[in-house]
Structure 1
Amino acid sequence: MMELQEEYKNFELDYVKEHPDALISVLLIDRAIGARAVTSEEAQAMFDGLSPEIKKTKAAVSITEKLEAQKKVEENQKGTAVGAKAPAFSAPTPDGKELALADALGKVTLIDFWAAWCKPCRAENPNVVSVYEKYHDKGLNIIGVSLDKQETHGKKLLLKMA
């Protein structure tokens, strides 16, 4: 299925490159952006290849706005990509103290984002605790970041896991 989807995507993108004067090319770029099938850089290159007449259409003007939005999203995601340096943050601990990521510098630290309402997160919580218990004496630290809107949900779960 994935091979067919990739083939279909490539067919559409090749069509755009081969038909810069076709209005359908703008619509195909728009769909590729909406489906996140291409990066903003790839979409921009295709858009730049369109004819000047097609770039003046209402659909093309809409694409420029979507491209700017996608560029911002991609830029924001760079800071949270696998292997990227984590952005600096701090947050209150369950006992009311402030904990900053900078406090963990120089230590092997796992940052676990979870929420009490997230079933996969809850299923993984015992494994996180097990890894902590197994490797904490060897230098591993874990910072659990609760995404719960109500403060008490995270505190209750932390107490159950402790």
Structure 2
Amino acid sequence: MKKILIGFALFLGFTQTQAQENNLQLKGTVIDTVANYVYLQKFHNKMFTTIDSVKVVDGKFAFKTKVQTPELYGLSVNTENSPFYIFLEKGPITVKLSPKKYYSASVVEGSVSQELFDAYRKENDIEISKFITEHPNSIVSAYVLYRNWSYRLTPDQILANIALLDKSQQNTTYVKELKELVTVLNGLQIGKKAPDFIGKNPEGKSVQLSENLKGYTLIDFWASWCGPCRKENPNIVAAYKEFHDKGFNIVGVSLDKKKENWVKGIQDDGLNWIQVSELTFWNSTIAKLYGVRAIPANYLIDSKGIIVARNLRGEELQTTLKALLNKKV
């Protein structure tokens, strides 16, 4: 695997350039599924938006859409499910698209970036600085730093990894958004004032954070579709039951897309505290305000809105609350 990645690094050093707008030369076949259309989707902010579609004729399809390359896109046979992740580049690319087994049966030819992405996925425990050092010219390095590592790193670590990228990657969307994220995170350190916000509760009424600060408040980012969030919810419920009467409160911020799923998640998990949501998935302005790149995530603030802790999980939440509330008493 190491030899493969180094080999890609040498080749990509001569092939990767800044993204440019080009007409796609993308054709392929749909295997193991009868499909009427194939949809081309653009990746942004952990979401995909459909930008074109073509009819499938005798199992074959072809796109000539004008798009920015090299970049990450998605291919799918419907717009409801997650697409097949594909890095598109200038030049002819062919795809055997398997909607039933996207990553074990689909085959892409003609995209060096896709080959590197597939290699990274198979060796997904590789440390990000090492990966970037081996592939500084690749859009894949910028993407992986943005998508898979930004929520694990401190602002200084993010900047250090950006510095490892070649200048050809410095103006990519991924790097620009990472730099914006660093600015946000630097303003959210412990001891800083938490940004105020207004959100709507399930009844459609506006709720302002600053008007609901009593004792210590946990700003909890979650969603009904988030498995790790639902797994963590019993711990938060237990903490709320034990410490609410002593001055612990919660404001839940959901990244749900559909109101009915959000409301059902609240009811099923017994989240009996303030809940707000913009129902905009990762386009949540509140999540962006708090630099949230993965959920569950949380900030614990005091009655003046000062951040005292962040991303407390399991017993750590109860231990922290016990120490703070005992000190208060």
Q: Secondary structure at the match of 1:144?
A: strand
Rate the CA distance shift 1:86–1:63 in 2: closer, same or farther, 3 A: same
Equivalent of 1:110 in 218, 236, 242: 218
Q: For 2:129 and 2:206, how far apart are their aligned partners in 1?
A: 51
Rate the CA distance shift 1:39–1:118 in 2: closer, same or farther, 3 A: closer
Provide the residue aligned with 1:99 in structure 2: 207
Structure 1 segments unaligned to the other structure (5+ residues): 14-23, 48-58
Post-superposition CA distance 1:49-93 (Å, at most 9, x none): xxxxxxxxxx63x33314544322322333455665322111112
TM-score, length-normalised on structure 2? 0.33
Runs of 4+ that moved beyond 6 A: none
What are the residue-to-residue correspondences of 1:121-160 with 2, within 5 Å? 121-160=229-268
Structure 2 segments unaligned to the other structure (5+ residues): 1-125, 150-156, 273-329
The structure in which a higher percent of residues are helix is 1
Rate the CA distance shift 1:116–1:31 in 2: closer, same or farther, 3 A: closer
Q: For 1:83 and 1:9, how far apart are their aligned partners in 2?
A: 34
Provide the residue aligned with 1:63 in structure 2: 169
Provide the residue aligned with 1:86 in structure 2: 194
What are the residue-to-residue correspondences of 1:4-83 with 2, within 5 Å? 5=127, 8=130, 12=133, 27=137, 33-36=142-145, 39-40=158-159, 43-44=162-163, 60=167, 62-66=168-172, 67-80=175-188
Q: For 2:259 and 2:129, how far apart are their aligned partners in 1?
A: 47
Amino acid in structure 2 at the alignment position of 1:141: N
Q: For 2:128 and 2:200, how far apart are their aligned partners in 1?
A: 45
Q: For 1:7 and 1:146, how far apart are their aligned partners in 2?
A: 32
1:90/1:98 contact within 8 Å kept? yes
Q: Secondary structure at the match of 1:27?
A: coil
Q: For 1:64 and 1:123, how far apart are their aligned partners in 2?
A: 38
Stretch moving more, 70-79 or 96-105:
70-79
Q: For 1:124 and 1:9, how far apart are their aligned partners in 2?
A: 31
Provide the residue aligned with 2:319 in structure 1: none
Identity %: 33
Q: For 2:261 and 2:130, how far apart are their aligned partners in 1?
A: 45
Q: For 2:161 and 2:224, how far apart are their aligned partners in 1?
A: 38
2:217/2:249 contact within 8 Å kept? yes
TM-score, length-normalised on structure 1? 0.61
